[in-house]
């Protein structure tokens, strides 16, 4: 699969949050604004979907089974049939226009999750670290749309995207205590390339970034230099994740929301899940430890 294929054809309004579960050889993803969960099984090519009770920004696998669901109203756990949702925390209850967006776990199983203004106007987002689901630590305030999170292969560098500011931040990261230090700009995305959205890190330590409005993915070296640009058949790429039996397939989510008729004609597969083999492998998904 060296060419880019639409492996799960959908018209997701805001497809997001791809996460590969190796024990199932399946990829889960969501449509935040279309209120759906999806499961794509790589071997058979079959797909399932379920309704979501509200806007869910990310799903994170739990070590004890099921998922953590980062939602509009707070942090939930749910089973894989998406029939039971248990609320654990609502850290942004004081800002009712906020919702959770992207989230990931570090290699030690800590959950990091960012919030954003659901109207995409105010810089009211926050970044949280969860050692457990009921007592998050607020790590950062005044964020313009929290987005992609990731860590280098040795866990010593953390990446975080602020979409509206068009910045990927990098931090030195202490895996023993989960504290980021030495904040710096890893990359700034020029306006012509759209907005930075979700990201993932490969086994060589390079960062793969999805561009909203850019018709592209970009691979950055660990020192922030553009290594490769992959042109995509749709404009609004939202996130990416490695999967497959050898973690050598890159899955990419996309969005169909807000496209005019001319763009829809150029991108009839907008909102689908895409996949291709980029010639490198990814890193295993970290589950939330509690």
Please, are residues 146 and 115 in contact by the beta-carbon 8 Å criterion?
yes
Residue 265 phi/psi, 5° resolution? -65, -35
Degrees, nearest 5: CA angle 178-180-186: 135
| DSSP secondary structure code for residue 236 in this structure | B
List the one residue out of 178, 45, 197 whose CA is nearest residue 105: 178
Q: Are 289 and 65 in contact (CB under 8 A)?
A: no
Please tell me the distance from the alpha carbon of residue 257 to that of residue 11, in angstroms, as a whole number.
Answer: 9
Q: How many CA atoms lie within 13 Å of 154's alpha carbon, on the beta-carbon side? A: 6
Three-state SS at 237: strand
- Whether 106 is catalytic is no
Catalytic residue (choose from 92, 197, 202, 260):
197
Structure tokens at 200: 């993932």
The catalytic site residues sit at: 197
């Amino acid at each position: 699969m060296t060419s880019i294929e639409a492996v799960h054809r959908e018209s997701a309004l805001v497809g997001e949050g791809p996460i590969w579960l190796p024990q199932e050889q399946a990829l889960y993803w969501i449509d935040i604004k279309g209120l759906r969960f999806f499961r794509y099984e790589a071997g058979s090519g079959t797909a399932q979907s379920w309704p979501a009770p509200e806007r869910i920004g990310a799903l994170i696998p739990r070590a004890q089974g099921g998922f953590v669901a980062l939602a509009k109203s707070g942090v939930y756990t749910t089973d894989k049939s998406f029939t039971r949702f248990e609320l654990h925390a609502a850290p942004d209850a004081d800002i009712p226009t906020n919702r959770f967006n992207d989230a990931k776990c570090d290699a030690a199983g800590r959950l990091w999750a960012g919030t954003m203004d659901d109207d995409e106007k105010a810089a009211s987002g926050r970044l949280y670290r969860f050692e457990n689901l009921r007592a998050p630590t607020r790590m950062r305030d005044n964020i313009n749309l929290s987005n992609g999170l990731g860590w280098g292969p040795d866990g010593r560098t953390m990446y975080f995207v602020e979409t509206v500011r068009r910045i990927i931040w990098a931090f030195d990261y202490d895996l023993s205590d989960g504290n980021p230090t030495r904040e710096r700009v890893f990359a700034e995305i020029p306006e012509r390339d759209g907005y930075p959205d979700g990201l993932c890190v490969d086994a060589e330590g390079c960062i793969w970034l999805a561009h909203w409005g850019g018709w592209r993915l970009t691979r950055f070296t660990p020192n922030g230099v553009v290594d490769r640009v992959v042109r995509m058949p749709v404009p609004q790429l939202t996130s990416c994740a490695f999967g497959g039996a050898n973690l050598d397939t890159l899955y990419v989510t996309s969005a169909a929301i807000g496209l005019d008729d001319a763009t829809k004609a150029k991108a009839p597969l907008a909102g689908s899940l895409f996949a291709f083999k980029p010639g490198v492998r990814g890193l295993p998904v970290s589950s939330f430890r509690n």
